[in-house]
Amino acid sequence: MTVRRDFKEPARCRPDLVIGREELYAEAREQLARGGSVLLHGPAGIGKSTVLRALAAENAGASGTVLRCSATESESHLPFLALADLFGLVLDRVSARLPAAQRTALESALTGRGESSLQRDGLALRLAVLSTLRALAAEGPVLVVADDLQWLDPASAELLGFAARRLGDSPVRMLCAVRTDGEEYDRHLRACPPDTLAVRLGPFSRPQVAALLDHRGYTGLSRSTVRDIHRTSGGNPLFALELGRALAESPARPRPGEPLPVPTSLRALVLSRLEMLSDDARRTLLVASAGARPTLALLHAAGRDNAEAETARAAALGLLVTDPEEPALRFAHPLISAALYAEAPAGERRAAHTALSTAASDPIERARHLALAATGPDPEVAARLAEAAALARDRGAPSVAASLGLLAARHTPADGEPGPDERRLQAAEDAITAGEVDLARDIAREVLTRATAPAERVRAWMVVIEAAGQALGEVDAVFPQVLADAGDDPRLLALVHYQLAWREVVVDGDFAKSRQEAAHAAELAARGGDRRTELMALAFQSSTETLMGHPDAPATIRRALQEPQDPDVASHHNGAAMARFRWLLMSDQLPEARTAITSLLREARRRGMVESEVHFSRLLADTELRSGHCGRALDLGRESLRLARDSGIGESASAMLASLAEASGGDVERALTLAREAADHAEVDGDQLYLSLALAALGYAQLVAGDAQGAVRSLRRVRELEHGMGINDPARGRWQGDLAEALVRVGEPGEAQELINVTRVHALRLNRASVLAVLDRAEALVRAARGEHQAAYAQLTSAQERLAKLGFGLEEARAAFARARLRAAQGPGPAAYDEAARLFRRCRALPWLRQVERAVAAGPAEAEPVPAAAAGALDGLAAMERQVAALVMEGATNREIAARLFISVKTVEATLTRVYRKLGIRSRVDIVRLAAGRRTK
């Protein structure tokens, strides 16, 4: 969609304001720049006209003539109307150059004077349109812009198609948009040149809908509301904006369980066909719209005796989609269901819910319908809803539990036991688990406006603090208030000191004080009989001790793993199992660490713990990366980042890990961007813990990119941050070897050796075998820089062997690469790099493999890696083209590429054709040669 920054300024459709279509826009732009034509297609409201206008505005300056037409359904029966729009203003310029018969036929068609028709003057008219376009093209490039091609009158469409197929090399481009609504677009290509690129505009993802709403000023919407807008709109940007506008204009937001308000504009758009249904059929569809997963059996159980005939009629009108293999009924678009429900009178809606409260088979669904059918407080309804919320929680659906909990609170009498606010707080805690932090924060703040009991107030404050995530500095003012509310109750104080432990490490970067707070929290919780908080505090204490290199860490982990355990803590991303995983990972026990984190991720997904899932998928990616499985790590890193951005949880951490994965197995430029994004997030949040990790990722990406000076700057700052925080375990960030290597490259071997010596002391004390091997690799580079080649080679050989035994595949390959460069510097030739290339290929470490190719091409005189900018063979390609070319370099087949990128094999083939044309090459082999700096023949 294109968004104007100010509604008062004229629509300029600048391409940088196209939201959610960046890659498609770039593809279409490149096609037009090559002199080709573009056909945009997709359903109504999907943004075709917006993209078309933006492309037309951008390309108008490069065209001598721009011809425009925009057809409408009401005018599609008028012959030659589109032709008149296109040529009406330019005919005088070229009419003298047309043969008399063609000029007469064309003027008659455009002006309506005479009896011109395709049947009588067909050939003359066809040739006249072709001659007119060629005459205009002789003066300069021509751009034909046609919107809503489906409403083009048949005569104009036939004439345009005839000319388009015969223009040949004439500089005439066509930019068209057509509504397809599920039908094939191929028939509309007949009105376009043969080389036309068809671009389908599909629905927006949830983050894209959120970005669109933000740009239009609808910024006060919670994530759960954006999720509902995305679901109801089906990702259609026009529908999403209309729903956002209706919410912004509505005096009251919908209550839990209720659908979004549907504006009149959309109701009219989707409900016009309902007038052709009987009243009984409309009531049947209303019951279907109120049901979570309506079937004919459910409709019968709800008292809709003629459901088969009524739903068949609705399907014939395009309101429902039926599938013989699928018992569930599905509305043709989610908006039809929402509009139908919104249009129904309140009494009819309650009647539908009443019927479904007994007809539905699932107890959670029955309870929801019972609540929506009831009015006012009702203890029985509230109890049923609370039971359903507990069941949803056990099933791993915390988002559903939160919604049901709020419904339970609404129906709980003020003097009920438990009270309405207690149920609201449980709903808020479920919302935190589900990753809906905005909703949780709003509930807690509301409770705090009236709660007086210390337990309720502290519980609400805990939700506010949890909702802040890593930005704990933003809630600093909360801690004195919550300490005052806690009084001298050890259970409540334990909760506060546990959060203070987090604050000390995240905001102040003080691990020693954080450890003290965590230990104090565990002691208070044990005194108060709160086993859950005691376990969480012990787990956090053990994590800080691990990062500090404290000798008590193993003992604290054992205490945290003692029985009795709490199932919520056991699968929590800050629980004891997580502390154990971190210990395994830092102790070089990679297979055990992978087993542990895989189990945790599986359980988090089963229980619907979104925040834990974000963290666990990221940590599994980290484990795979250390094991040298760069392709797997890249997939997991991207998945974690998508989930983090979608939920708004752990974005900095996920961007950091995605950067490491991209630098190791993907796109180095993207790695640099993600690392800077992660660092910026951490800076804004005041999160020193993740700031050091983000800068370590940035330094690594800079080293891979050949920017040794940048790597030194970033990694020196990491050293300062970790020293200030008291982090002594070099296995935490594993940046020391990268800094030492970068220092050697910039001519500072003395500082590199000093860093190696200091780090080795801690690594020996903590028995960090893989760190010691990496330090030996770095020390070998120092020795090589000093001319001690024989000693350096022996040290590299030893480091490589040890890393191989430990299972650190990528580090092993880097040691082999360093050994090969040392050997190649003495002139043995390209064969020196065979082992390094094989190991990097096994790891699917594409950026490192490129370095090997460049080293081979450079020869002994230039064995050091060169900056990425110097090897920009693929820089001129579009994003999709670069991805495909990169996978070709990995040796992937077209079918494998299609599976990795979620596109068709045909699209892969077409993309490769464009890559060959842009790079001036002929085959897949040439892509690798060109990227390696070789000449193609």
Query: What is the per-residue pLDDT across 825-836, written as a single tens digit (0 to 9) for each?
Result: 765 555 678 899
Looking at the predicted structure, is the pLDDT value of residue 440 above 50? yes
Looking at the predicted structure, is the pLDDT value of residue 869 above 50? no
Long-range own/partner contacts, residues 568-572 (CB < 8 A, 24 or more apart):
568/532, 569/532, 569/535, 569/536, 569/539, 570/603, 571/600, 571/603, 571/604, 571/607, 571/609, 571/612, 572/536, 572/609, 572/612
Q: Which residue has the higher pLDDT, 544 or 884?
A: 544
Report the pLDDT averaged over residues 226-252.
Answer: 82
pLDDT given for residue 593 in this prediction: 93
Residue 262: pLDDT band (50, 70, 90) is confident
Tell me the sheet residues that pair with 200. Answer: 41
Which of 114-145 are b and which e, b meaning 16 or more Cβ less than 10 Å from the residue's Cβ?
eebebeebbebbbbbbbbbbbbbbeeebbbbb
pLDDT given for residue 117 in this prediction: 54
Looking at the predicted structure, is the pLDDT value of residue 598 above 90? yes
Residue 899: pLDDT band (50, 70, 90) is low
Question: Can you point out the beta strands (E) in 491-572?
Answer: none
**How far is residue 667 from each of residues 487, 617, 812, 817, 849, measured CA to CA in Å?**
54, 20, 21, 20, 12
pLDDT given for residue 267 in this prediction: 72
d(C-alpha 190, C-alpha 193), whole Å: 8
Looking at the predicted structure, is the pLDDT value of residue 11 above 50? no
pLDDT given for residue 38 in this prediction: 92
Q: What is the pTM of this model?
A: 0.60
**How far is residue 267 from each of residues 123, 228, 273, 359, 603, measured CA to CA in Å?**
47, 17, 11, 28, 42
**What tokens appear for 792 in the block?**
């350096």
Helix (H, G, I), strand (E, B) or coil at 59: helix
Report the pLDDT averaged over residues 910-916.
Answer: 81
d(C-alpha 103, C-alpha 532), whole Å: 88
pLDDT given for residue 826 in this prediction: 65
pLDDT given for residue 421 in this prediction: 93
Long-range own/partner contacts, residues 4-13 (CB < 8 A, 24 or more apart):
11/53, 12/57, 13/50, 13/53, 13/54, 13/56, 13/57, 13/58
Looking at the predicted structure, is the pLDDT value of residue 2 above 80? no
pLDDT given for residue 896 in this prediction: 67
d(C-alpha 285, C-alpha 602), whole Å: 38
Looking at the predicted structure, is the pLDDT value of residue 223 above 50? yes
CB 610 within 8 Å of CB 435: yes
Report the pLDDT averaged over residues 784-795.
Answer: 88
pLDDT given for residue 878 in this prediction: 67
pLDDT given for residue 645 in this prediction: 78
Summarize pLDDT for 621-639 with one digit per residue, the tens: 999 999 999 999 999 998 8
Report the mean per-residue pLDDT for the chain: 84
Identity of the amino acid at 863? A
Query: Which residues make Cβ contacts (< 8 Å) with residue 877, sequence separation at least 6?
Result: 885, 915, 918, 919
Looking at the predicted structure, is the pLDDT value of residue 203 above 70? yes
Residue whose tokens read 């002391």: 761
Summarize pLDDT for 342-380 with one digit per residue, the tens: 888 889 999 999 999 889 888 888 888 888 888 889 899
pLDDT given for residue 740 in this prediction: 95
Residue 204: pLDDT band (50, 70, 90) is confident
Looking at the predicted structure, is the pLDDT value of residue 668 above 70? yes
Give the range with max mean pLDDT: 415-419, 820-824, 905-909: 415-419
pLDDT given for residue 859 in this prediction: 61
pLDDT given for residue 821 in this prediction: 87
pLDDT given for residue 185 in this prediction: 67
Summarize pLDDT for 283-332 with one digit per residue, the tens: 999 999 888 788 888 999 999 999 899 998 888 888 888 766 677 788 88
Report the pLDDT averaged over residues 731-743.
Answer: 92
What DSSP element (H or E) covers 330?
A: strand 326-331
Cα 378–384–388 angle (5° rounding)?
140
Q: Which residue has the higher pLDDT, 611 or 113?
A: 611
pLDDT given for residue 269 in this prediction: 67
* Residue 564, preceding peptide bond in cis (omega within 30° of 0): yes
pLDDT given for residue 412 in this prediction: 93
